[in-house]
Homo-oligomer: A and B are copies of this chain.
Amino acid sequence: MAKVSQAHLDARRRSILDAAAKVFAEKGVAAATMAEIAHEAGISPGAIYRYFPSKEDLARGCMEGSAEAVKAAWQHPEQVETDFRTLSRATFAELERSGADADTRLLLERALVAVRDADAALVEEFGAELQRIVRGVAFLLRRDFGARLEGLDVEALAQALYSFYWGARFVRLMAPDAVAPTRQLEALQALMEAAFSVADRESAGTER
State the main secondary structure of chain A at its contact with B.
Answer: helix
Contact B179 A156 (CB under 8 A): yes
Contact B111 A186 (CB under 8 A): no
Please classify how large the interface on chain A is, using the bins under 10, 10 to 19, 20 to 34, 35 or more: 35 or more
Residue ID in chain B nearest A160 by CB atoms: B184
Residue ID in chain B nearest A31 by CB atoms: B30
Give min CB distance, A99 to chain B, whole Å: 15
26 contacts between A and B (CB under 8 A): A27-B116, A108-B108, A108-B111, A108-B170, A115-B174, A123-B174, A123-B175, A130-B175, A131-B178, A134-B178, A151-B190, A152-B191, A157-B187, A157-B188, A159-B178, A159-B183, A159-B187, A160-B164, A160-B168, A160-B184, A160-B188, A162-B167, A163-B170, A166-B166, A167-B167, A194-B198
Chain A residues at the B interface, C-beta cutoff of 8 Å: 2, 26-31, 44, 46, 105, 108-109, 111-116, 123, 126-127, 130-131, 134, 151-157, 159-160, 162-171, 173-175, 177-179, 181, 183-188, 190-192, 194-199, 201
